[in-house]
Amino acid sequence: MKKEYLLSPGPTPVPTDALLSMARPIFHHRTPQYQALFKEVNEGLKYVFQTNNDVLTFASSGTGAMEASVVNFLSPQDKALVVRGGKFGERFAEICEAYGVEVIAIDVQWGNPVDPELIERSLLENKGIKAVYTTLCETSTGVLNDIEAISKIVSRYDEAILVVDAISGLGADDLRTDDWKIDVVVSGSQKGLMIPPGLAFFSVSQKGWAHVDSARCPRFYFDLKSAKKAYDNNDTPWTPAISLVIALSESLKIIKKETLANIFLRHRRLADATRRAVEALGLELFAKAPSNAVTAVQVPQGIDGKNLVKLMRDKYGVTIAGGQGELKGKTFRIAHLGYMVEFDVIVAIAALEMALKDSGYGFSPGAGLVAAQEAFVK
């Protein structure tokens, strides 16, 4: 017998109530019933985003909302400052380039957070930067960027907005959209929000909205003004992914009950235990400033990283994530994100130990589990 465990940084496990809600007969979206549901969901999203701004919903994966964060604020030839410290920072740059936006890149060595000073310097050296793109948790490296410090800098520049990809970080790492004055926060459904992929979210500040009118990049499906007009009637301009919105209403109930403060504490607790366990196995953490969403670990010398992840999944039923982009085979990533508790960490570490043993890596079996358990019971 093999049981399946999903411990990847997206998709993440979906709570049973949210899963079952998707099995309910579907209903029409142009009805008071749907509008009431969507209104409730929108209030819940504001709570998670820690904002009074509108949080708009798209039927798309997170990349769609990343595209929305480019095309609605910029014009071709505009300058965008993009922090490239992993695959998702790179994606922002690719989207800008696809729309003819000039990318000024801050290339950060993968595994490191961006130094906010570099953003200040770039803004000073390159006049007319219209938007700064960075990630909260760069999922590909597990790095957490210091958004509070970055926002303190960018918010002093009237002409520049700050766009934060919080797709995997939202609900795991604290992100105070309003308090920190973040103009645009982008997220997705299949991470801390604990439902399947297919919805993307987008909060916009007043300063952000002021940029929309002058932005000349073409857009239609991801047009913010269409989205906002419908949003004001608790609706979307195009047919919403109804069953996912229903599931979201269930997961938001769970989130509100636990409270954001407790959710952040839980993620930190799980992250700490995971890291102690990994280090107790003699492995090295990859991220210099790790997010509480995911722990990226360097594959030890002589071990086949791809095979390690495959063994965990195919032999033991435990799905974690391998390295992404240039890190393929060089890192693996254990998520502690969303609908996860202490025992998910215990399972992850137990499976990791088993697969490491199979791979011929030398360590004392149970050492990781002991370290995790010590962290939990301390």
Segment near its own copies (CB under 8 A); pick from 125-133, 212-220, 349-357, 366-374: 212-220
99 sits near its own copies (criterion: CB under 8 A): yes
- Give the CB-side neighbour count of residue 321, counting CA atoms within 13 A: 23
Segment near its own copies (CB under 8 A); pick from 57-65, 103-111, 127-135, 206-214: 57-65
- Tell me the closest approach of the beta carbon of residue 342 to its own copies, in angstroms: 19
356 sits near its own copies (criterion: CB under 8 A): no
| DSSP β-ladder status, 54-59 and 199-204 | antiparallel
Segment near its own copies (CB under 8 A); pick from 112-120, 221-229, 253-261, 279-287: 221-229
- Is the distance from CB of 107 to CB of 254 less than 8 angstroms? no
100 sits near its own copies (criterion: CB under 8 A): yes
DSSP state of 290: B
φ, ψ at 95 (rounded to 5°): -65, -45
Long-range pairs of 232-238 with CB within 8 A, sequence gap ≥ 24:
233/35, 234/35, 234/36, 234/38, 234/39, 234/42, 235/29, 235/30, 235/35, 235/38, 236/29, 236/38, 236/57, 236/58, 236/59, 238/59
64 sits near its own copies (criterion: CB under 8 A): yes
Segment near its own copies (CB under 8 A); pick from 91-99, 118-126, 268-276, 353-361: 91-99
φ, ψ at 232 (rounded to 5°): -65, -15
Q: Which C-beta is closer to its own copies: that of 94 or that of 148?
A: 94
59 sits near its own copies (criterion: CB under 8 A): yes
52 sits near its own copies (criterion: CB under 8 A): no
218 sits near its own copies (criterion: CB under 8 A): yes
Per-residue binding letters, 263-302, with its own copies (x by CB under 8 A): ----------------------------------------
Alpha helices in 190-341 (DSSP H): 206-212, 224-231, 242-258, 260-280, 305-310
Segment near its own copies (CB under 8 A); pick from 9-17, 107-115, 293-301, 344-352: 9-17
- Tell me the closest approach of the beta carbon of residue 52 to its own copies, in angstroms: 28
**Three-state DSSP class for 300?**
coil
Q: Residues 51, 56, 67, 231: which binds its own copies (CB under 8 A)?
A: 67
Per-residue binding letters, 304-323, with its own copies (x by CB under 8 A): ---------x-----x-x--
Buried b (16+ CB within 10 A) or exposed e, 42-61: bebbbebbbbebbbbbbbbb
Contacts of 343 (CB under 8 A, 6+ apart): none
14 sits near its own copies (criterion: CB under 8 A): yes
Residue-by-residue DSSP string for 117-163: HHHHHHHHHSTTEEEEEEESEETTTTEEP-HHHHHHHHTT-TT-EEE
- Tell me the closest approach of the beta carbon of residue 51 to its own copies, in angstroms: 24
Segment near its own copies (CB under 8 A); pick from 8-16, 268-276, 283-291, 369-377: 8-16
Contacts of 329 (CB under 8 A, 6+ apart): 299, 304, 305, 306, 322, 323
Residues written for the chain: 378
- Tell me the closest approach of the beta carbon of residue 62 to its own copies, in angstroms: 7
Tokens of 29: 């979206």
Cα–Cα distance, 5 to 112 (Å, whole number): 29
Q: Which C-beta is closer to its own copies: that of 98 or that of 265?
A: 98
- Is the distance from CB of 172 to CB of 185 less than 8 angstroms? no
Segment near its own copies (CB under 8 A); pick from 98-106, 128-136, 156-164, 174-182: 98-106
165 sits near its own copies (criterion: CB under 8 A): no
Q: Which residues bind its own copies (CB under 8 A)?
A: 4, 6, 8, 10-11, 13-14, 19-20, 22-31, 58-64, 67, 94-95, 98-100, 188, 190, 196-198, 217-223, 237-244, 313, 319, 321
